Amino acid sequence: MDLHDGTGTEGRFRAYPADLASVLGHADRARPFDDYCVGLLSAEGRKNVEPLVAVIAPERTAAQHQSLLHHVAQAPWSDQAVLSRVREHVLPSITRDESIQAWIVNDTSFPKKGSHSVGVAR
């Protein structure tokens, strides 16, 4: 996927989950996967099914809730296949200028609360 192909941000975003969905194993999994991706990037706060559904399908929350729950928890798709496809997209951009020396991923994008949560300091 070329970031400068002239299709615009929305077109590139729509193409990305569609390409990832190609490794899900069945065409019926593409739509819930696309909805899930849109919800993860759109919803504020917690990333569980309820807020995602409120963003992607506020007019049909019950059906969409069931669809996303099934997709995330029960649909038999391979996370390894999806991660391999993601790697095919990401790695060329990361290594374009130089090889990887170290890779540190630190997702601390939400505030930690309480005394028992992982990563909470005094």
On whether residue 101 sits in a domain, the answer given is no
How large a percentage of the chain has pLDDT more than 70? 80
Rounded-to-integer distance, Cα 61 and Cα 56, Å: 9
Predicted model pTM: 0.65
Closest CA to 10 of 38, 43, 40: 38
Q: Which two tokens stand for residue 94?
A: 């990361």
Q: What is the pLDDT of residue 28?
A: 84
Q: Which of the given ranges, 47-51, 80-84, 106-110, has the highest pLDDT on average?
A: 80-84
On whether residue 47 sits in a domain, the answer given is yes
Answer yes or no: are the C-beta atoms of 87 and 66 closer than 8 Å. Answer: no
Answer yes or no: are the C-beta atoms of 1 and 19 closer than 8 Å. Answer: yes
On whether residue 85 sits in a domain, the answer given is yes
Q: How confident is the model at residue 113 (pLDDT cuts 50, 70, 90)?
A: low
Task: For residue 53, give its domain range.
Answer: 8-94
On whether residue 53 sits in a domain, the answer given is yes
pLDDT at 5 over 70: no
Closest CA to 2 of 98, 93, 85: 93
Q: Work out whether the CA dihedral 53, 57, 58, 59 comes out positive or negative.
A: negative
Tokens 């729950």 appear where? Answer: 69
pLDDT in tens, 15-68: 888 899 899 888 888 888 888 888 888 767 777 888 888 888 888 888 888 888
On whether residue 44 sits in a domain, the answer given is yes
Domain count, the chain: 1
pLDDT at 2 over 60: no
On whether residue 13 sits in a domain, the answer given is yes
Q: At what angle do helices 49-56 and 30-42 cross, to 10 degrees?
A: 100
